[in-house]
Chains A and B, each alone.
Chain A
Amino acid sequence: MMNQEDIYNNVVRIVSKHAKDTEALNSINPQTHILNDLKVNSARLVDIVLDFEDTFDLEISDDDADRIATIGDAVTLVKALKN
């Protein structure tokens, strides 16, 4: 069973792989905006969501995926789906 910290660390690990602005990773936090702050190519959100599904063993609907903007949004969604 993953706790909040495990979920956060995994979300950061998965999103970080796609960051174009790697400098911004130094100050990553729950408020960090995936597209605006990390400059992730918006097309890659699809791959990030697939990686969440594999890592956390869950299914994320398109509507839920569309609501992910920040690292914190992703953590909250994963936590909700796991409970």
Chain B
Amino acid sequence: MARRVVITGMGVVAANANNQLEFLDALRAARSGLRFMPELEDLGFACQVAAIPKGLEAALATIPENIRLATNECMSYATIAALEAYKDAGLEPAPGDQPDDTTGAIIGTGIGGIDTLSLRVVPNVRDKRVKRIGSTVVEQIMGSGSAARIAGLLGLGNQVFSNSSACNTGTEAMIMGTQRIQLGLADRMLVGGTEGSDPHIWAGFDSMKVLSRKFNSDPEAASRPMSASAGGFIPAAGSGVLVLEDLETAQKRGVRIYAEIIGSAINCGGMRAGGTMTMPSSSGVQKCISQALKAAAIDPRAVDYINGHLTATIADPMELNNWSVALDRKPGDFPWINSTKSLIGHSLGAAGAIEAVATILQLHYGFIHASRNCEDFHPDIKDFVRHVPQSTQNVPLQIAAKASFGFGDVNSCVIFRKWSAS
């Protein structure tokens, strides 16, 4: 029998919170992290709203200066979230020269260190000043930069790498870490995703017209998942990191357990049956959710709550219908569902991990945060409206599902069960 995997620590940096405690408070209050960005206006973006963490100076000051000099924005969010998650799990970096061979990290990113590329690499190469680039650029643009930085600070000796599957990345990292523990290759994995806030990341999305552009004068209303007036997502930055642990190892340590990962699945729609590079195939999404439920060995009626991918694009109605088909639950019999992106926008490769932290906090503390800005609910999914909280609801929850979908027609789904010692 595969080893059981539980969550023992969580850390988060988002536009509405700089740590887990602030995030819990922000979720309960459905606090928005969306702000008007004059820089985007100056640059001619159609979307001039973004969701970027702020006020991290104190957290950054805890990172030694020699490390900080080689840590860009994307890496710094992951580092702060990972240090919080590690501490939250009751862990401390091993003293001395021996790494902790039982613990690894998978910290993914959808885009990575574009800020370093745009600010340091491109101008210096273009101006034939390669010598001026310096020694810290490679580690800040390599895909595995964040995972490597965290491994160095904590002394991790197990597998350390980064995955990348666009907006699916954070959830996929969690599943890959789970599998590594289940296989007995690690006892503990730090997993998550991170993304920076550089306009160069977002320019392509703006040009694609997939960013929200009609609410620049009312920024907190600009992320509108499931609404009739949804016109695209709000670009965001941040990081979520979770400590996954083999159940027996966690119990031996006597540490608090938030939840158990009881099932998961990763797949690709293969860009067939309506799937494209930029749109998911419904059959692929449904298959992914069904496989996760099957792995969890639960009746789909046991799912109390879904934290949707729900970005505020035309894919939202399709997503609700896919959940309905995969769970075989009609609108009258549907679980609660909300979109954390209505509060903090869409942080691409970090989104799944931040939203997993949101999901587990709601599961652990028994509430469902309000899904903002869908008072004009989309008519194609109007029958689901009573399952989408307009205000935060205190509800005891046992089982939650989290899914993410990404460009490339890739999907992942995780089923969590609230931890109960009995």
In the bound complex, residues from chain B placing their C-beta under 8 Å from that of A45 are 135
Secondary structure of the B contact surface, majority rule: loop
B134 touches A50 (CB 8 A): yes
Which chain A residues in 23-72 approach chain B with CB under 8 Å? Answer: 40-41, 43-47, 50
In the bound complex, residues from chain B placing their C-beta under 8 Å from that of A20 are 64, 66
A4 lies within 8 A of chain B by Cβ: no
25 CB contacts below 8 A, A to B, read: A17-B65, A17-B66, A17-B69, A18-B66, A18-B69, A19-B66, A20-B64, A20-B66, A22-B64, A40-B66, A41-B66, A43-B135, A44-B66, A44-B135, A44-B136, A45-B135, A46-B134, A46-B135, A47-B69, A47-B134, A47-B135, A47-B136, A50-B131, A50-B132, A50-B134
In the bound complex, residues from chain A placing their C-beta under 8 Å from that of B134 are 46-47, 50
Q: Which residue of A lies closest to B65 (CB)?
A: A17
Tell me the complex Cα distance, A43–B136, Å. Answer: 8
Chain B interface: which size bin? under 10
Contacts beyond the supplied A20-B64, A45-B135: 15 A-B pairs with Cβ under 8 Å: A17-B66, A18-B66, A18-B69, A19-B66, A40-B66, A41-B66, A43-B135, A44-B135, A46-B134, A46-B135, A47-B69, A47-B134, A47-B135, A50-B131, A50-B134
How many A-B residue pairs have C-beta atoms within 8 angstroms? Tell me. 25
Chain A interface: which size bin? 10 to 19
- A residues apposed to B, CB below 8 Å: 17-20, 22, 40-41, 43-47, 50
Question: Sorted from nearest, which 3 A-B pairs have the closest CB atoms?
Answer: A46-B135, A43-B135, A47-B134
Tell me the complex Cα distance, A44–B138, Å. Answer: 12
In the bound complex, residues from chain A placing their C-beta under 8 Å from that of B65 are 17
Tell me the complex Cα distance, A45–B134, Å. Answer: 9
Which chain B residues in 130-144 approach chain A with CB under 8 Å? Answer: 131-132, 134-136
Closest chain A CB from B79 CB (angstroms): 16
